[in-house]
Amino acid sequence: MTTKVRVDTPLQVLDVRYSYGRTRAVDGIRFEVGRGEIFGLLGPNGAGKTTTISMISGLLPPESGQVLVFGHDIADSRGGARTRMGMVPQDIALYEELSAAENLRFWGQVYGLSGPNLKRAVESVLDQVGLAERAGERVGRFSGGLKRRLNLAVGLVHGPDLLLLDEPTVGIDPQARLRILDVVKAQAAAGRAVLYTSHYLEEAEQICDRLAIVDHGRLLAIGTVSELRRLVGEGPIINIRGEVTSERLTAMAGRLEGVALLSCADGAASFSATDATACSSLVRELFQTGAHVEDLRVAEPNLQSVFLKLTGRELRD
Amino acid sequence: MRRILVLVLKDLRRRLADPAGFFLNLSIPLAMAGMMALAFGNSGGGEQNAPQLRLVLVDLDESPISGMLAGASQNPRAAGRMAVRRAATREEGLDVLRDEEFAAMLVIPRGFGQALLGSERTELELVKNPSENIMPVVAQQGAEVLALYLSAGARVLGDEGPRLQKLLVDGAGWNDAAGLGSMIATLYDRVDAAGNLLFPPIIEVTEQAETKQDAGGGFNWMSWMFPGMVVMGLLFTSLTQMRDLLRERDAGTLRRQLASPLGAGQVILAKVLSVAAVVAIALVLLLTVGSLAFGLAWGAPAPLIATSALLVLAITGFSAMVFALVRTERQGDAFGGVLTMLMSMVGGAFIPPQILPEWLRGVSCFTVNHWGHEALRALATGGGWAQVGAYLPALAIMGVVFTGLGMTLLGRRHLRGTL
């Protein structure tokens, strides 16, 4: 597949592949992220998200394919492309012996800032993440939420045009999470491109303009939230819990019109139904056949159901 | 270059913000040196701290000659080295030897002075205390040297011995001025003729050595011990600092740096430079403590600076190589720590390498410790370029090879994605 190289497109990931020994971690993933767009990369652990981010940030060279940042191959251009990119890793990659301001000054200098520009950038980003009053405090004394906010600030200090956010809200309280999400949305509103990975589907659903679902190194689906929802239909999702077997439920779904089994594992199963009638027929069938159902819930289709349909497992499995 | 400086300064700021680990590393060699100084004396002080030779002297001859020998032990220099207890009889001497932990008993037999002056064969008896190891051997060697000198003296006297005996032992002939004058003239001629034999440069060398020791307060044995502790302490410091590379990897800050416009080479070089800077600071502190606490002088500035620079390079390179070969901090601590202790032992930090087996002495030449010790010891004992120059090329080669290898291996690990 050929692709036009566009210097105004913040990120083009073109059929990249990478293997660890004989294990193929990323197998031909392809997507683009435009200016002002928040693009979510979703997948369970081991799906290939971090390897993809590592290739995008230049830490791993793709075996094949290309990563273009504003039209520049990340493998060729050390300075230009990387200076326009800000990375926020999943780990809290900060120096705990230094203060918040010292951390930011250091990373600003790494990206070439100095003098008044550096000072302004540090003050501005501390304001954005709400840490201005704790600028001089050692990071080692910060709570997890404060560290996460500073971790994000480090990625923003040099004013990048492309932000790579790898699980930026892991392990923090809802208030800190909302603050981080607000900052991310503000960055996109300012015209920056954001590549965002997360375990939290609701979070991704809330802030991402477009999403890609990856598993086993492959890209399974890509589109807006509503486009992805359509993959499981417009109708309701029926989740049951009880003593159920995959064979029995597959056979049952096959007998019913407009009903499809999305997943079945560990005493839980999900069905999609095209409409309320199909939903009713499923419920009736379950009770008439004497299936031992302990819990039954009907929900609107969401990313979780899309994910289940595409991967057969929960995102956090 | 500016960005490398930024990385180095960042590491130094971090060390400054949390210096406990740094000082803990330095405290190890200082504590060891301090304990040894407490155990063996600070500067050694040469003679003052040398163990005293405790000797029982039995003078059965009681002649003026034996009296001179016995009296010699009373002069101030000898008194500092020897404790002499006189015994009237051999049996009494043996009792003292057994009961009061004397190293040996020297018995001057009856007729010794007469035999000596008559150039006849005679002997001194030395009874060593079997319960002691070293000092009886010292006594034996002293007695052998004494016998040698007395024999040489008797040979020089030759046939003038009996006349001298009459004069000294019998007290006869003092009123014979002509005979006395002729004997003195003869003895003078003989001593003069034997001058080259009796007063060779060995006496002058001894006097020079004594003068120097007196001026400098004696041999400072810490100048042997302390350099070994310094090199060992620097190795531990260097390993601890280089471990920060893997700590940064685990914390994610290394990944963040590698994703920035910095090249992997710059990141690795900056880490090596920051470790070298910390090691250099540690070296300055240790040398200063060596001077202040143990009275060591490190010689002229130029050789000291050259030695320090190459030592820091070699030690930093060594730690870079260690951490290029290990996967985790714990592995680095264990591997580096064991290697440092082994190298310190083989390199002569604890025992003189001369007493090691031949093959181990060969191994010693491949350690930073060996060359570092030797160079610092040369400086501490007043050596300059001439003495230190022999060790600097080895340190330079080790520094370049270790640092080059370490950086190359770390770079390859980055390319494989394992750094």
Q: Which residue of B has its CA nearest to A80?
A: B261
All residues of chain B having their beta carbon less than 8 Å from the beta carbon of residue A106 are 6, 10
Check residue B316 and give left, alpha or beta (phi > 0: left; psi -120 to 50: alpha).
alpha
Average pLDDT, chain B: 80
Instruction: Tell me which of B225 and B209 has the higher pLDDT.
Output: B225
pLDDT above 60 (res A22): yes
Q: Which residue of A has its CA nearest to B414?
A: A59
Per-residue pLDDT at B48: 47
Q: Which of B14, B17, B255 sits opposite A59 (nearest CB)?
A: B255
Question: Distance between CA B90 and CA B139 in Å, rounded?
Answer: 17
pLDDT above 50 (res A242): yes
Question: Distance between CA B290 and CA B230 in Å, rounded?
Answer: 9
Residues 6+ apart with CB under 8 A from B151: none
pLDDT in tens, A196-231: 998 788 888 889 999 999 988 999 899 998 888 887
The interface predicted TM-score (ipTM) is 0.80
DSSP type of residue B46: G
Q: Does the pTM of the predicted model rise above 0.80?
A: no
A89–B252 C-beta distance less than 8 A: yes
Give the pair of three-digit tokens for residue A95: 């120096």
Question: Distance between CA B281 and CA B300 in Å, rounded?
Answer: 19
Per-residue pLDDT at B144: 76
Question: Distance between CA B302 and CA B385 in Å, rounded?
Answer: 8
All residues of chain A having their beta carbon less than 8 Å from the beta carbon of residue B18 are 97
Helix or strand holding residue B224 (H, E): helix B222-251
Residue B57's closest CA among B78, B73, B77? B73
Question: Distance between CA B125 and CA B107 in Å, rounded?
Answer: 5
Instruction: Tell me which of B245 and B354 has the higher pLDDT.
Output: B245
A78–B263 C-beta distance less than 8 A: yes
Residues 6+ apart with CB under 8 A from B357: none
Q: Does B256 touch chain A (CB under 8 A)?
A: yes
What share of chain B has pLDDT > 90, as a percent?
26
Question: Distance between CA B1 and CA B273 in Å, rounded?
Answer: 12
CA B323 to chain centre: 33
Mutation site for B-interface testing, chosen from A95, A137, A163, A164 by largest number of B Cβ within 10 Å = A95
A78–B253 C-beta distance less than 8 A: no
B259–A85 C-beta distance less than 8 A: yes
B260–A111 C-beta distance less than 8 A: yes
Mutation site for A-interface testing, chosen from B9, B13, B249, B253 by largest number of A Cβ within 10 Å = B253
B256–A111 C-beta distance less than 8 A: no
B17–A93 C-beta distance less than 8 A: no
Q: Which of B13, B251, B258 sits opposite A98 (nearest CB)?
A: B13
B253–A94 C-beta distance less than 8 A: yes
A107–B256 C-beta distance less than 8 A: yes
A83–B261 C-beta distance less than 8 A: yes
Three-class DSSP labels, A123-179: HHHHHHCCCHHHCCCEHHHCCHHHHHHHHHHHHHCCCCCEEEEECCCCCCCHHHHHH
Q: Does B260 touch chain A (CB under 8 A)?
A: yes
Q: Which of B6, B13, B261 sits opposite A79 (nearest CB)?
A: B261
Q: What is the CA radius of gyration of chain B?
A: 32
pLDDT in tens, B165-224: 776 666 666 677 777 777 777 777 776 766 665 555 444 434 333 334 444 445 567 787
Give the pair of three-digit tokens for residue A122: 């540090």
